[in-house]
Every structure is written in structure tokens, then in C-alpha cells.
A and B are shown apart, each in its own frame.
Chain A
Amino acid sequence: MRWRGPIIAGGLAIGLALPTSPAAAVDVTFTGLVVDTCSVALATPGVMSLSGDGKVLATDQGGLAVPATVTVVSIGTNTLSLAPPTLDTYPAGYTPGGETLELSTSGLLSNPLFTTLGIDGIIGLLPLTNLLVNLRITNPDGFEQGLYGAHTVLTCS
């Protein structure tokens, strides 16, 4: 009969078409996005004291003087920049202009020589890490009695 012919042919076709090899692998996908992050914290504000000759006010004079400590956490690649320091406060009897302000750093960024310029560095992946900042104000004419304050801006970018 004519309709059986196709059945036989169909049966053979089915037999030949059934796969005999393992199924192809299917990929399971995971996606994610990493973004650079930076966190900075002023842990210790820093204290200056006067040198024996009265001409240098600095954080590395020993005694009660201590450098400022900043803690840094970084993910990805970031840049740390310390701007040249500026004098913020001084007593009424003091005339600014004759002093020199300088920075030096240790720890995360090592720049041990005092400089009037800024200090920069590239940082990568960092757990909580310390950066110590020393500040020095030098005036050959000395300092009047009173309150002095100076600062630098630390930028993580």
C-alpha cells in the first residue's frame, strides 16, 4: 500500500536522525562590574612643635610633635596627590610672607625629603594603609607667640 511506504521510509529516517553523541555543553553565565573606589580618612590630625632655635615649627621635632596620619583604602588604580601646604592661622603679631612651608611623607607614599611642591603617587589595590604626612614651617625671623595652623589637601582621584 502506498501509505505504508512512507511509514517504512519514515521509520528509517527517524532511526537515522536520532543522535548518538553526548549533548553539547551549555554555558552558564555570570556577569559583574568592578568600579574603582577610594576611601581616605584623617586618623591623626598632626601636631607641630618649635625647634630649639625658634625658627622651625614642624611635626618632626620630637617631643609632642607627631605627623598627620591618613588611612587609605583603594580598589582599582587611583592617584594620591598632596597639594603644597598653606598657612591658615597665625597670631595677631605675626606678619606672614617670610615663611616657607614644606611637606614630606612616609608609609604609603614615600617622599622623605621636605619639599615646597606637591607630592603625587599612583596607588593600586590597597587594604587599609597608612600615609604619614610631615609638615614644616621655617621662618629665619622666628615666630610670634600664639596659635599657628597650616594644612595640605590630600586628593584621591
Chain B
Amino acid sequence: MHLKTLLLAAALAPFAGGLAAAQSLSPMRAEGDTPSAVKGFRLLIGNPYRQRMVFRVLPMEPGFRVGAPDAAVNFPELALAPGSTRQVIVSFRIDPAMKERTIGVCVQPKAIEGMVMPRVCGTYTGRRRG
């Protein structure tokens, strides 16, 4: 009984904050041409909830398991007021030997307490023109 109570207390402790964490990403998918070896996309990231949130914006390989090399976001960390949105630009290099490249971009809270880490990920394809 005592052990069960202690475990319960321990389980409750990290959730005392109980804050809701949320983010939105738009568009979820996009494609476009580039005349050079670098392609960029403008993405809109939103905080639709009632508290200030800090998000991480991460370029990922398709499948969203590992980070994407030769890709960058102009604001890899974003602090957003409740209900606000902000544009970021993700750009990535396309190997000259390839005609196109697809990357993912995931938006997730920088710090979160809870059993679920929520994230929104989009897929973006750049094609070399000519």
C-alpha cells in the first residue's frame, strides 16, 4: 500500500504543470522548382492555444526519424504568443546529380511534460529546373 501510494505521488509529480502544448504547420505538403541547387519553402507555424510556447523547427529526412543534412531553417527555435503565427523559411540543397529532393520539417515543443510528444511534420519536394 505504501509503495503504491509513493509510486502514485511520483507519477503525479511531473504532471503538476499540466500545461497544454500545441502547434500547427501549413502547408503540410508543397512542391516547387528551383533554377539553382537550393530550394526554399515558406511555412506558417501557429500557436493556436492560450499560452506562450517555444517550438523547435527541425528539418528531417522523409519518414521524420532522422535529421536532414544540408538543410536549414531560418528560425530553428520560435517563441510564439498565444494565437499568433510566424513564417519560417526552410531551405535545402539538392545534390547536382539528382533532379529532385524531398525533406520533412517537424514542429514540436522545445520542452514538454506528459506522455505524448505532439509534433506536426510536413513534406516538401524541390526540383531542379533544366
Contact = CB atoms under 8 A, between A and B. Distances in A.
Touching chains A and B, CB distance < 8 Å: yes
Interface of A: 35-50, 54, 57, 59, 63-64, 68, 70-71, 73, 76, 78, 82, 85, 89, 91, 133, 135, 143, 145-157
B98 interface: no
Q: Which of A57, A149, A152 has the most CB of B within 10 A?
A: A149
Contact of B116 (A39, A54, A70, A146): A70
B28 interface: yes
Contacts of A57: 7, 11
A47 B11 contact: yes
Contact of A157 (B21, B22, B28): B28
Contacts of A89: 14
Contacts of A145: 3, 6-7, 10
B115 A39 contact: no
B29 A36 contact: yes
Given A45-B115, A133-B116, A135-B115, A147 B13 contact: yes
A150 B114 CA distance: 8
A133 B115 contact: yes
A137 B64 CA distance: 26
The secondary structure that dominates the A interface is strand
A157 B15 contact: no
Given A47-B12, A156-B120, A39 B24 contact: yes
Contacts of A82: 116
Contacts of B12: 47, 64
B91 interface: no
Contacts of A78: 28
Nearest to B64: A155
Given A50-B4, A157-B64, A68 B116 contact: yes
